[in-house]
Chains A and B, each alone.
Chain A
């Protein structure tokens, strides 16, 4: 779908009419006379054929002779021979063209800048406008195309670490407006989905909170007091064991005291 522009545009019908005005009128008269004569010959021949045809049939296919002796047979044989010669000639001509045309085309293409011609004379955007790209895309099976791509093999060939090493993350991060991103986050929705109660319980379980309270309380709860109490407790146990051994007491002491209104 090429369109000739420039000089080609000069060969439009209007230009042809200008050229015809340059031809002498005698030529047109001669052409007209020739056409008239040809028409008369054709009509005469047709008329003659109509007049002669019945007689020709009698001559070529005489009913009195056997069919194999008809002159028509000789004519048919001649036609067949001529047809065979014509077909052979055509075949030889095509074979000759097959040999010559590539050579000639190559020679022509070597002598012209086809790319420049296309650039100069082909309106690519008009071609693109004519193409139904949406229809073409609609016929494509992208899933099968993607499945046919060996992505793993491609990834093996790609040096991702090298690519990342070339990336200037500081420069990228400097362009990122973190505050704007955070402002778009619905923190309340996130918090509402977090089980703060269970998290707090886990933290409390992990931390010995009573120990911290005890250590942070002052006064009587100092390390010295704890030490004295622990030593007193150890001495209590020691005395109890000695006395129990002396008294040959076999059972452990019942030191459980009532707690908040309950008898031990």
Chain B
């Protein structure tokens, strides 16, 4: 255990830095999914509200939106995950459950790798379940991109010694 975890409660310091298990990661993913769904609702609600305000007389409930929802979802999830992982290593769900994504060096991921990992997570989300089977608590995405999702309850987003250029993302 390093000084990075000095602010972590004593009963949780022993497993800090170890790869998280399936339950924690699924719970974090569920939280992230709900965050994205909430964001999509805000986007579409904003569009509908704006349409009603601009043309209230000719307003009608938008139709043919179904084709756009998957696209918006994929783009939003990819952007949300990739920027979160490349920024602080944490999504909102990760921050809530106390996990962080690191690369094969233990540092925060670079943005290109984070984008590719996010795309794979969107395309093949079931790959997360490999965590339960893997002897190293790694998902398919982790195996492909040599990443790890570790327990990290510390208040800091990333270690000072990572030397990684980070992206300052408000709210992450």
Contacts and interface: CB of A to CB of B under 8 A. Distances in A.
Contacts of B135: 249, 251, 253-254
Nearest to B162: A260
Interface residues of A, number: 36
Interface of A: 208-211, 213-214, 217, 220-221, 225-226, 228-230, 232-233, 235-237, 239-240, 243, 247, 249, 251, 253-263
Interface in B1-29: 2, 6-12, 15, 17-24, 27
Contacts of A239: 21-23, 132
A258 to B, nearest CB: 4
7 contacts: A208-B10, A229-B98, A239-B22, A240-B21, A255-B18, A256-B17, A261-B162
Interface residues of B, number: 41
B133 A262 contact: no
DSSP class of A's interface residues: helix, strand, loop or mixed? Answer: helix
B12 A233 contact: yes
B2 to A, nearest CB: 7
A257 B148 CA distance: 7
Contacts of B27: 228, 232
B7 A261 contact: no
Contact of A243 (B8, B12, B133, B136): B133
Nearest to B132: A243
B162 A258 contact: no
Contacts of B102: 257-258
A225 B98 CA distance: 9
Nearest to A216: B7
B127 interface: no
Contacts of A258: 102, 104-106, 148
B137 interface: yes
A210 B135 CA distance: 32
B96 A236 contact: no
A251 B97 CA distance: 27
A240 B98 contact: no
Given A217-B155, A236-B20, A256-B17, 13 more contacts: A210-B8, A220-B95, A225-B98, A229-B12, A232-B24, A239-B22, A239-B132, A240-B21, A240-B137, A254-B135, A254-B136, A260-B159, A260-B161
